[in-house]
A and B are shown apart, each in its own frame.
Chain A
Amino acid sequence: MTDNIKHQVSDELLMAYSAGNLPEAFSLTIATHISLCDESRARLGAFDSVGGSLIETGETAELSEDSFEATMAMIENTENPIIADISGENEGVLPKPLRDYVGGDVDAVKWRSLGMGVKQAILPTSKEATARLLFIPAGTAMPDHGHVGTEMTLVLQGAFSDEVDRFARGDIEIADEHMDHTPIADIGEDCICLTATDAKLRFNSWLPRLVQPFFRI
Chain B
Amino acid sequence: MEMDWSALIVKIRDERDKKAFRALFTHFAPRVKAFLMRSGADASLAEECAQEVMATLWQKAHLFDPSRASAATWIFTIARNRKIDAIRKMKRPEPEDLPWGPESEPDQEDVLALQQESTKLGDAIAQLPQKQRELIEQAYFGDLSHSEIADATGLPLGTIKSRIRLALDRLRHAMK
Looking across the interface, which residue of chain B has its beta carbon closest to that of A27?
A: B93
Q: Is A2 an interface residue (CB 8 A)?
A: no
- Are A35 and B125 in contact, CB atoms less than 8 angstroms apart? no
The secondary structure that dominates the A interface is: helix
Q: Which residue of A lies closest to B35 (CB)?
A: A55
**Number of residue pairs across A and B with beta carbons under 8 Å?**
175
**Per a CB cutoff under 8 Å, which of A60, A78, A83, A97 touches B94?**
A97
A21 in contact with B143 given A51-B76, A52-B76, A58-B35 (CB within 8 Å): yes
A-contact 0/1 string along B1-41, CB 8 Å cutoff: 00000000000000000100010011011111111011000
- Residues of chain B contacted by A126 (CB below 8 angstroms): 89-91
Say whether A50 contacts B125, CB under 8 Å: yes
User: In the assembled complex, how far is the CB of residue A168 from the closest CB belonging to chain B, in whole angstroms?
Assistant: 19
Q: Number of residues in B with C-beta < 8 Å to the partner?
A: 71
> B70 on the interface (CB 8 Å rule)?
yes
Q: Which of A12, A21, A45, A58 is close to B161, meaning CB atoms less than 8 Å apart?
A: A12
Binding site for A on B (CB under 8 A): 18, 22, 25-26, 28-35, 37-38, 43, 46-47, 50-52, 54-55, 58-60, 68-70, 72-77, 79-81, 83-84, 88-99, 117-118, 121-122, 125-126, 136-137, 139-141, 143-146, 161, 164-165, 168, 171
